Chains A and B, each alone.
Chain A
Amino acid sequence: QTVVTQEPSFSVSPGGTVTLTCGLSSGSVSTSYYPSWYQQTPGQAPRTLIYTTNTRSSGVPDRFSGSILGNKAALTITGAQAEDESDYYCVLYMGGGIWVFGGGTKVTVL
Chain B
Amino acid sequence: QVQLVESGGGVVQPGGSLRLSCAASGFTFSSYNMHWVRQAPGKGLEWVAFIQYDGNNKQYAESVKGQFTVTRDNSKNTLYLQMNSLRPEDTAVYYCAKDQGGGSCSFDYWGQGTLVTVSS
Contact = CB atoms under 8 A, between A and B. Distances in A.
Contacts of B107: 36, 38, 46, 48, 91
Contact of B95 (A1, A46, A57): A46
Contact of A104 (B45, B104, B105): B45
Interface string B81-103: 00000000000000101001000
B50 to A, nearest CB: 5
A10 to B, nearest CB: 15
A89 B44 CA distance: 8
A48 B106 contact: yes
B47 A97 contact: no
Contacts of A45: 95, 110-113
Q: Is the interface of A mostly helix, strand, loop or mixed?
A: strand
A52 B102 CA distance: 11
Nearest to A89: B45
Given A101-B44, A101-B46, A34 B105 contact: yes
Given A97-B50, A97-B57, A48 B45 contact: no
Interface of A: 1, 34, 36, 38, 40, 45-48, 51-52, 55, 57, 87, 89, 91, 93, 96-104
25 contacts: A1-B62, A36-B106, A36-B107, A38-B107, A40-B45, A45-B112, A46-B37, A46-B97, A47-B110, A48-B100, A48-B106, A51-B106, A52-B106, A55-B104, A91-B47, A96-B59, A97-B50, A97-B58, A98-B59, A98-B61, A100-B47, A101-B44, A101-B45, A104-B44, A104-B45
